[in-house]
Structure 1
Amino acid sequence: MNKNSVFGSRNLPSLGVSLIPVSFLFITLISVIIFSGADAVSEYGPWILLASTAIGLGLAAWGGVASRRGLAVGLKRSAMQILPAIPILICIAMVATTWMLSGVVPTLISYGLQILSPRLFLVIACVVCSAISVMTGSSWTTIATLGVAFMGIGEVMGYSDPWIAGAIISGAYFGDKVSPLSDTTVVASSTAGVDLFEHIRYLMFTTVPAMGISLIVFMIVGFTTDVDHNPDAGSMLGALNSTFNLSPWTLLIPFITMVLIALRLPTLIVLALASLMGVAGIFIFQNHEGMDLAGLLTNLWSGSALSTGSDSLDSLVSTGGILGMLPTVFLVLSAMFFGSVMIGTGMLAKLTDAFTRRLRRRTSIVGATVCSGLAMNCFTADQYLSLIITGNMYRSLYKRNGLEARLLSRSMEDSISVTSVLVPWNSCGLTQATVLGVSTLAYFPCCLFNILTPVMSVLVARLGFKIPESTRRPAAVCNQAV
């Protein structure tokens, strides 16, 4: 085959060649899902990314596109997007462990269980799951522990399983999305090149209205459902009290952390200080047996594993530590190398140009980002891959059209992080359906926050609320913004 017919007269990859590494990535991931299940994506995802990287590099070398300079530029751009996330992810793992062992999260769980009300159960379940997800940065942990408990309580009260699951998932994913401890939030902001806390603040313009509408609907459902008595949560509270010193003083740690966030200190500094406060809280507020410096370092590395006498609570207080975060770090690094080759060889630019050539208006660009994010969730069955690929595809388009990078990071979060749980074969959807015992298609219409958020993202873009125009943007393009 003539190379020029494939790579063109300027020795650039054609659209067909550029599609080969991406097609291999998608087809292989779908095959893994079919034959091994969606859970296997996290295990095989990095290797599939590295294989796709090798294919792209081989094609580029064969066509003479893989110049040392181009690949160096691609590696630099990709590394600048991805590498800042790694120390943040490590700090997140330490914060999650120290805040659990210091009693911060258990105290919040205890207070949440004590304010249960039959008529307001769905609202309370949603709010409590949201608060716990904010503090832990993990929707999966919240759903697998407190969510399971709420499922049993809600069933006794007379609520249908889909509505209970919808309230739990809505709250857990809202909290996960706006938490500085969430790895998906870190990946989204890093991929778009946006400061983490700036990203979270900008998310509020779409997430708060979506959550507000969801809570109103959950309240209406609660007052129109024939509910029964409020079951006793004493056994769970007893297990918490026997394991932790549940003192309101422990909440000083998250309070000070929120103050640091409000002062707009750098993300890494805030998380490092939050971790140190958690370490201090372990020795000040708690009395864990055998907890000395060596034990602390062991827990930070491999995670915590305490026995409370309650199976659901045991899984909550058992954190993964730094070791549990390493698979995510491996995936992020693998995606960085894939992005380096796609950027350095010009393949990503070719794909982006083909899919975004006609996009000029703000609403259409955000709408395309949202649709691409939804499609990536279906194709890759993994939210991390979806965030990284979508971010690399659209980053230059937003810059070229004078749109802020934080608009891109928000559009990705609105369409990827919260909708992954709605795809039956996505790792999130399959996991939550299994944990809660409710099929994805059954709870889908009740996950109001997850459904409304991408809609709200496009609506806010259409209104132009808090979306300033760049002075670098050509006037002809500015006139087409809406």
Structure 2
Amino acid sequence: MMALIIAFLVFVVSMISCLVLGQSILIALVIGLFAFVVVGCTKGFSPGKVFTMAWHGVRDSLVVLEIMFMIGFITAIWRASGTITFFVYYGVKFVTPPLFVLLAFLMSCLLSYILGTSFSVSGTLGVILMALARSGGVDPLITAGAVMSGIYFGDRCSPASSSAILVANVTKTDLMDNVKYMHKTGLIAVLISTGIYAFLSFQNPLQQVDAAIMDSMLEEFSLSLLTLLPAVFILVLPMLKLDIRWAFLGSIVSGFVLMVTLQGMDFLDALKCCILGFVPEQADLEPIIGGGGAVSMLEVCGIIMLSCSYSGIFKGTDMLADVQGKINQMMSHTGRFIMMLILGFMTSVVFCSQTIAIMLCSDLMTKPYLQTGGSRRELAIDIENATVLLSVIIPWNIACTVPLEMMGVGVKTLMYSYLVFILPVIYIFTKRIWFKDSVDKIEK
């Protein structure tokens, strides 16, 4: 147990050092990997055997990595084909001044649900909405809070979301089944948040709209209804019970065709864009819709691979058995979801990454959930309603710092990110509706 504690301390110190020095957290993950390999060796396993366990964990992540690279292609293709710009241009164009904050929330919800990514939406729609808010006399903190709530609505429950795909993979559950339950368990919180942002909208009406960015969009793109086609594949094909990869593939192919035909991009330039990201001709659009591409997912894929290698070591050596035993004891007093809230908060605070927190919560909680009468589906939904959202309220967690930095606001914005707080609280009292049998078992 002492060796495990030391390994975790080494990992935490490495993570903090990387964040302070502005280095990639991949360095901390590599250091942590070797620390846990040493712990495995102290339990009687050879280094080769422990690394084999790590590889088994990585191998289990290959499906997720395939999807991550497809998402990387989509983030560039949607930018270059005009899909994102269509949503942003017409969404902002028809903004009603007294409903600006509400529409900021709803537009962020819609685009993040279709695209499945919080960072891309905060870096595109979020940047534009913040520019409009600052020039139009709307409180930027309230606007950014509405955007944060909206982008993590999609990040939590979109079938295209990398976190939702990761949760389904590590808990061995069906993605679309999870999405259905996330819709149900999040409905009340979404309605309450919508009411709050509607009230704040009337308190903070938009005074004027800067048309310069909108004009640049029209110069850069041909915005016809055809640009919606890549989004249609993402929305419709999962409803037809097709594998999400077919939806991604349809979106990639249709978007690529639009890049070459409708937007007039050279074929080789379009291929380069898919890999390296989109660079718009209009300079003022570069910080808004530039970027994406397969290379943008390299660090995310590295984090997932190394996190999954940890999982392989934990499972193969059973080094978390003592920790899981203590969790079992605590869970008998707190209940499963409260324990998930505690663990989700702690892992998000310490490891500064939503991805790592998801992996650790799955590794630590799977056995206790199943041993106390829970199910893998319940585990997956609890992770989504606790760990995924709690990562957002930790000021130094990547899930919080990246969107806030893109929008140019500070952590005070979190006070207005109502959905992130409301949903876990509502779920505490409504979980019995969705998982009545398992809740009754632990209470008995």
Q: TM-score, normalised by structure 2?
A: 0.91
Relative to structure 1, the CA distance from residue 430 to residue 250 in structure 2 (aligned partners, 3 Å threshold; closer, same or farther) is closer
Give the whole-Å Cα distance in 1 for the aligned partners of 2:246 and 2:273: 21
* Residue 127, structure 1, aligned to residue 106, structure 2: yes
Aligned length: 444
Equivalent residue in structure 1 for 2:416, among 414, 435, 446: 446
Note the alpha carbon deviations across 1:288-322, whole angstroms, 9 max, x for none: 3xx21x22321221121112342xx3233323311
* Alignment of 1:357 onto 2:336: no
Compare the two structures and name the one with the higher helix fraction.
Answer: 2
Post-superposition offset of 1:83: 2.5
C-alpha contact 1:88 1:268 (8 A) present in aligned 2: yes
Find the aligned partners of 1:184 and 1:415 in 2 and give their Cα distance: 13
Matches within 5 A, 1:32-431: 32-33=18-19, 35-37=20-22, 40=23, 43=24, 45-65=25-45, 76=56, 78-79=57-58, 81-225=60-204, 227=205, 229=207, 231-288=208-265, 291-292=266-267, 294-310=268-284, 313-360=285-332, 364-431=335-402
What is the CA-CA distance between 1:108 and the residue it aligns to? 0.9
Q: CA deviation at 1:68?
A: 7.4
2:427 to 454, 457, 474: 457
What do you get for the CA RMSD once the two structures are aligned?
Answer: 2.6
* Identity score, percent: 20
Q: Secondary structure at the match of 1:328?
A: helix
* C-alpha separation in 2, matches of 1:84 and 1:380: 24
Say if 1:239 and 1:309, in contact at 8 Å, map to a contact too: no
SS of equivalent to 1:246: coil
Letter in 2 for 1:322: A
Question: Once the 2 structures are TM-superposed, how far is the Cα of residue 71 of structure 1 from its aligned partner?
Answer: 7.2
Residue in structure 2 matching 1:25, options 4, 8, 11: 11
Does the 8 Å CA contact 2:335/2:443 hold for their aligned counterparts?
no
Residues 244 and 156 (structure 1 numbering): CA distance in 2 closer, same or farther, change over 3 Å? closer
**Secondary structure of the residue that 2:279 maps to in structure 1?**
coil
Alpha-carbon offset, residue 66 of structure 1:
5.1
CA deviation vs aligned residue, 1:20-49 (integer Å, no higher than 9, x gap): 32232223223333x325xx3xx1x23322
1:91–1:435: structure 2 CA closer, same or farther, 3 Å change rule? closer
Q: Please state how far the C-alpha of 1:100 moved relative to its aligned partner.
A: 2.2
Worse-superposed segment, 235-244 or 146-155: 146-155
How far apart in 2 are the matches of 1:479 and 1:332? 34
- CA distance in structure 1 between the partners assigned to 2:15 and 2:206 by the alignment: 45
Q: CA deviation at 1:217?
A: 0.5
Letter in 1 for 2:409: V
Which residue of the partner structure matches residue 474 of structure 1? Answer: none
Instruction: Provide closer, same or farther for how the CA distance between residues 144 and 282 of structure 1 changes in structure 2, counting only shifts above 3 A.
Output: closer
Partner of 2:405: 434
Instruction: Please give the per-residue CA displacement for 1:326-361, whole angstroms capped at 9, x wherever unaligned.
Output: 111111111122222222111122222222334248
User: Residues 80 and 466 of structure 1: is their aligned pair in 2 closer, same or farther, counting only changes over 3 Å?
Assistant: farther
Secondary structure, counterpart of 1:285 in structure 2:
coil
Aligned twin of 1:6? none
Cα distance in 1, alignment partners of residues 47 and 410 from structure 2: 49
Q: Please give the alpha-carbon distance, in whole angstroms, between the structure 2 residues aligned to 1:479 and 1:309.
A: 60
Distance 1:391 1:108 in 2: 35
Gaps of 5+ in 1: 1-14, 471-476
Query: Where does the alignment leave 5 or more consecutive residues of structure 2 unmatched?
Result: none
For the Cα contact (< 8 Å) 2:112–2:154, is it kept in 1? yes
Distance 1:69 1:148 in 2: 48
Aligned-residue offset at 1:103: 1.8
The answer to whether the Cα contact below 8 Å between 2:156 and 2:384 also exists between their aligned partners in 1 is: yes
Contact persistence 1:421–1:428 (CA under 8 A): yes
Detail structure 1 runs of 4+ shifted over 6 Å in the superposition.
67-71
Q: Is the 8 A contact 2:75 2:120 kept in 1?
A: no
CA distance 1:435–1:286, shift in 2 (3 Å)? closer
SS of aligned partner of 1:480: helix
